[in-house]
Chain A
Amino acid sequence: MAGPGMVMYEEEFHKISAVIDKLVKDANAKVVFLVDKNGQMIAACGEVENLDTTSLASLTAGNIAATGGLAKLLGEKEFSILFHEGERDNLHISLIGQRVILVVIFDDRSSLGLVRLRVKKCGEELAGIFDQLMKKAEAEAAGVGGVSPFAEITDEDIDNLFRE
């Protein structure tokens, strides 16, 4: 397998939520969310009630993947920032620590300059938290006795999911 899957713990989730919650306010943004590169939503803050965050996550990851493909073709390592400008809302997408994607949705209450500035600062903070998270997940995975809560799943549990 190509490395272990992503794991999120309560403690880090709260730290991450606090950071992006602050970003919503500091950048005057409507919504901020974090997605892993495979398209899984990690956290979202702001006016998310009417947003289909699952779809947004998967399309953002597709977008980053396609842009990464373009970068490679041009001999670039990556394009770490994408910006989409709309009539009402704008989308600022940036890559953090090579593995998570930070998305900021903002309108004319904010500006690209402000968003870029705040995202940069927040990005460093988030990268630190994700580093920690990876180390913790690796340590737990290597821990004695296999701490995976799924180690105890029985075949019956799995079958039950599919019972009509």
Chain B
Amino acid sequence: MSFINYSSREINCKIVYYGPGLCGKTTNLQYIYNKTNPQAKGKMISLATETERTLFFDFLPLSLGEIRGFRTRFHLYTVPGQVFYDASRKLILKGVDGVVFVADSQIERMEANIESLENLRTNLTEHGYDLDKIPYVVQYNKRDLPNSAPLDELKKLLNPTTVPDFEACAVSGEGVFDTLKAVAKLVLQELKSGR
């Protein structure tokens, strides 16, 4: 649910990074944070446990520049990936404008990916959203690992509707900005079409 402010001439949009535990959602945000100009970003907030697992959410405000005299601002959020934090995950999806599903490419995490994707769909439905209708992209993270599953298998299992998808290695940053750009673009296009 975007927030258009005619008074300060700003558009604010919310993007949520979703995915199974340890798939690299926080790492995506950290990379974006580290590679963005100081004037284009705000403080990154991580509500995490002592062992650096996301407890509630990470938050990173980004300013992308102007479009027709309006400053475009994106608020990036991650959800806690661990299964038992479902109540918190649901809360963070409230008012979302675009979703990135970060999949863990490792073969042994395939079931966790599928479970998380189903959970995403269910939680969106509870907020009245349909995953097939909102701006949505998929990222296959950890492509650098030797035990990663073949790309076409991942595509078949996790992206049957063939939304834009990207291979990534969030630690080194590969594919991170491509993913962000793609989802931001879809969100703006949605805004353009006026829903």
Contacts and interface: CB of A to CB of B under 8 A. Distances in A.
A4 to B, nearest CB: 7
Contacts of B194: 141, 146, 148, 150-151
Given A62-B47, A153-B191, A158-B185, A5 B91 contact: no
Interface stretch (B26-34, B57-65, B163-171): B57-65
A58 B59 contact: yes
Given A62-B47, A65-B94, A161-B67, A151 B4 contact: no
Contacts of B64: 161-162
A150 B189 CA distance: 9
A161 B195 contact: no
Nearest to A40: B3
B5 A153 contact: no
A42 B192 CA distance: 22
Nearest to A146: B194
Given A36-B3, A150-B192, A151-B192, A161 B65 contact: yes
Interface stretch (B6-14, B103-111, B147-155): B6-14
Interface residues of A, number: 42
A87 interface: no
Given A8-B4, A153-B191, A54 B61 contact: yes
B interface secondary structure, majority: mixed
Interface string A128-154: 000000000000010000101111110
B67 A8 contact: no
A66 interface: yes
A36 B64 CA distance: 21
Contact of B68 (A36, A40, A65, A150): A150
A86 to B, nearest CB: 18
A5 B8 CA distance: 16
A62 B117 CA distance: 23
Interface string B65-100: 101101010010100000000011011101101000
A69 B45 contact: no
Contacts of A74: none
A3 B127 CA distance: 10
